[in-house]
Amino acid sequence: MKVTFEDCRRELLDRSNAVGREAYERWRRRPGYEAVIAFVEGFAHTRLFEIALEEVKTVQRKPLKDRAEHALGDVEMEEAIDQVEDALVPFAMQHLFHWYIEENGKLPTWTEFTTWVTKTKKGVWLTRLHEYLRSHPDLQDTPRLAIGRAIHWRVGKFYYSAIREVELLVRRRLGSMILQ
């Protein structure tokens, strides 16, 4: 199975109302989003629809000794910083997660994903996030460690959510909504 942006456009945008279509056009006109727009409109999923439930379970239950750390590590919810939680950069984590699956042909472990985002794709997300945060006057006196931990919290929450969404998709595809 292959799903392209064109498939989604036909299913969603062509059936949406004027408000939905205008929101899409506003997004397409956002300054600095040219690379994201090209990525999204040229993206196709194939591997996502081939992921087996066992692959999801393996990523979910990987022993900690096989990972650099747990996705949330020792970061606590209280360490979240509103400006980090609300920061907008053109490439959303969801874009990167799906990009990883298609480029690497597998569902990533936490370490694989964060290494890919912070090293291989650093310029499309982490660098842009740091630029945004450096320009935020409310964060000028916030220690870098606190900001780093807040970023860890945000990405860790995202990662767990994305893995659960893939599990739901796989279970739905298999016709089984029973969680084991």
- Domain ranges, ordered by start, for the chain: 1-45, 51-174
Q: Can you give the pLDDT at residue 61?
A: 79
Determine the pLDDT at residue 66.
46
pLDDT score recorded for residue 6: 92
For 107, counting Cβ atoms within 10 Å of its Cβ (0-12 exposed, 13-18 middle, 19+ buried), the class is buried
Confidence (pTM): 0.88
Closest CA to 108 of 117, 77, 173: 117
- Output the tens digit of pLDDT for each of the chain's 180 residues: 899 999 998 899 888 999 999 999 999 999 999 999 999 999 999 999 999 999 999 988 765 554 456 788 889 999 999 999 999 899 999 999 999 999 999 999 999 999 999 999 999 999 999 999 989 888 989 999 999 999 999 999 999 999 999 999 999 988 865 555
What's residue 67's pLDDT? 44
